[in-house]
A and B are shown apart, each in its own frame.
Chain A
Amino acid sequence: GDSVTQMEGPVTLSEEAFLTINCTYTATGYPSLFWYVQYPGEGLQLLLKATKADDKGSNKGFEATYRKETTSFHLEKGSVQVSDSAVYFCALLGGYNKLIFGAGTRLAVHP
């Protein structure tokens, strides 16, 4: 069945460092891909999405490119801030608009 695999956390970075969080997926066809973010004490928020191969989703300085060849959707940011500290979830859209999530990667950014 469809699944998503993310790199394990926590990822600990200093402010202004470069961020990469790896995500790969297994699915039939070419599903839409998403990154959601969960800040402490809050619900899941959609961060960015890509609906077809080679699409790049971007938001708030974060980017991810849908790579069909490597079945990947890695999240990147050039310069992280303390306020980016959160848990990041990669997800794919399965049948009936059902999201299938990875296990999440916790990011901690220190001043």
Chain B
Amino acid sequence: DTGVSQNPRHKITKRGQNVTFRCDPISEHNRLYWYRQTLGQGPEFLTYFQNEAQLEKSRLLSDRFSAERPKGSFSTLEIQRTEQGDSAMYLCASSLVGTDNSPLHFGNGTRLTVT
């Protein structure tokens, strides 16, 4: 169990550029979640997948955001035309559905800074 892995750890980009983050969940986990955490706040849910299907998207996820999990393993989160308000820590988590109250295991996050 190598845990949830996220890359890159840090990303600095200029406003208007596109960025893509990657998340590799724990290998046997079938659910994958994306959260966003801004300074001084708790993580806010963005979206989640069960296997390759994206089952829910938060209203926080504007049209500039898109997430994929093409083979039900790793996932990518892309932000197009970044804005300064997108600056945050983006957290990925995974869990195994089917086990009661399976806790979410979080990665260390990708910190995005939009200048």
- How far, in whole Å, are A103 and B33 apart by their CA atoms in the complex? 19
Q: Is B85 part of the contact surface with A, judged by Cβ < 8 Å?
A: no
Question: Interface range on chain A: under 10, 10 to 19, 20 to 34, or 35 or more?
Answer: 20 to 34
Binds B, one of A45-53, A64-72, A76-84: A45-53
A41 CB, nearest partner CB in chain B, Å: 8
Instruction: State which of B43, B45, B48, B101 has its C-beta within 8 Å of the C-beta of A44.
Output: B43
**Which chain A residues lie closer than 8 Å to B42 at the CB level?**
4, 89, 91, 101-104
- How far, in whole Å, are A26 and B55 apart by their CA atoms in the complex? 24
Number of interface residues of B (CB under 8 A): 26
- How far, in whole Å, are A6 and B88 apart by their CA atoms in the complex? 21
**Which chain B residues lie closer than 8 Å to A49 at the CB level?**
101, 103
**Which chain A residues lie closer than 8 Å to B45 at the CB level?**
98-100
- How far, in whole Å, are A32 and B99 apart by their CA atoms in the complex? 13
Asked if A46 contacts B103 (CB within 8 A), the reply is yes
Asked if A51 contacts B101 (CB within 8 A), the reply is yes
A6 CB, nearest partner CB in chain B, Å: 8
Query: Are A98 and B56 also in contact (CB < 8 A) when A44-B106, A104-B42 are?
Result: yes
17 cross-chain CB contacts under 8 A: A32-B101, A43-B109, A44-B91, A44-B93, A45-B106, A46-B104, A51-B100, A89-B42, A89-B43, A96-B48, A97-B104, A98-B33, A98-B48, A98-B56, A99-B33, A101-B42, A104-B40
Chain B residues in the interface with A (C-beta under 8 A): 4, 31, 33, 40-45, 48, 55-56, 91, 93, 95, 97, 100-109
